[in-house]
Amino acid sequence: QKEVEQNSGPLSVPEGAIASLNCTYSDRGSQSFFWYRQYSGKSPELIMSIYSNGDKEDGRFTAQLNKASQYVSLLIRDSQPSDSATYLCAVKRGSQGNLIFGKGTKLSVKP
Amino acid sequence: DADVTQTPRNRITKTGKRIMLECSQTKGHDRMYWYRQDPGLGLRLIYYSFDVKDINKGEISDGYSVSRQAQAKFSLSLESAIPNQTALYFCATSEQTGTGDGYTFGSGTRLTVV
């Protein structure tokens, strides 16, 4: 089992819809969880971090964490064409560990 | 100025040549990382450094070496470049302890080995 798994997509949603991106991880000792957005040919950009079970909202983005089920998700409300990018899930073991990245989910928002 | 600066942005080199990619940061972070990204393979860790005297291999260190010249500088070298080292390379930094805010990435170096 890969350490951090994401559906590679592409995930296609119409403009204005909710995009739901999912990520599962294998290490139960993981404590910190991050979502990065990466436009083609550009560097990853941190958009959300979450450390506790439940939901965390920031504007149109909501991160959800369920440690018992070992999954983390990202919801994007009112999706815009500018949200079209690859979304990387990253998981950190403890406070000292390195980030482990999933391979990313490509999102396409159609006008 | 960018917090994490990578040079060069693009480079084409020939097989067998030695090449160095440079990274400097103004974040004041102790930890620095080198990743390569290939289509379908995601980000893979090459080397990382927790401070000037601490260098560690990542999952794909063969064919690469690094130098941490100062807290703010971390260089990646390809001793004898080969075509399958063609990739997008990223430098990243992070805080030393705690959950932190994840990594801050440089803009990347697109390397082509012909």
pLDDT tens by residue, B5-53: 999 999 999 999 999 999 999 989 989 999 999 988 889 999 999 889 9
Paired strand residues for B43:
B37
CB atoms A43 and B103 under 8 Å = no
Q: At which residue do the structure tokens 């102790």 appear?
A: B30
Query: Is any Cβ of chain A less than 8 angstroms from the Cβ of B74?
Result: no
Question: What is the pLDDT of chain A when averaged over all its residues?
Answer: 93
CB atoms B108 and A43 under 8 Å = yes
* Beta strands A105-110 and A85-93, pairing class: antiparallel
Contact B50, B30 (CB under 8 A): yes
The three-state DSSP-derived secondary structure of A27-68 is CCCEEEEEEEEECCCCCCEEEEEECCCEEEEECCEEEEEECC
DSSP string, B28-45: --SEEEEEEEETTTEEEE
Q: What is the pLDDT of residues A44-87, one digit of tens each?
A: 999 999 999 999 999 999 999 999 999 999 999 999 999 999 99
C-alpha triplet A2, A9, B86: angle, nearest 5°: 70
Inform me whether the pLDDT recorded for B99 exceeds 70: no
Query: Is any Cβ of chain A less than 8 angstroms from the Cβ of B41?
Result: yes
Return d(Cα B68, Cα B22) in angstroms, integer.
Answer: 10
Residues B9, B13, B15, B20: is their CA dihedral positive or negative? negative
- Confidence bin at B100 (pLDDT 50/70/90): low
- Which residues on A lie below 8 Å from B43 (Cβ)? 44, 88, 101
Return d(Cα A94, Cα A99) in angstroms, integer.
Answer: 10
SS3 A76: strand
Inform me whether the pLDDT recorded for A108 exceeds 80: yes
Q: What is the pLDDT of residues A27-47, one digit of tens each?
A: 888 889 999 999 998 999 999
Inform me whether the pLDDT recorded for B98 exceeds 60: no
Instruction: Name the residue in chain B with its Cα closest to that of A35.
Output: B102
CA-wise closest residue to B31 among B93, B107, B77, B99: B93
User: Can you give the pLDDT at residue A95?
Assistant: 61
Query: Is any Cβ of chain A less than 8 angstroms from the Cβ of B54?
Result: no
Computed on alpha carbons and rounded to an integer, the radius of gyration of chain B in Å comes to 13
Q: What is the pLDDT of residues B55-67, one digit of tens each?
A: 999 989 999 999 9
Q: At which residue do the structure tokens 């000292």 appear?
A: A96
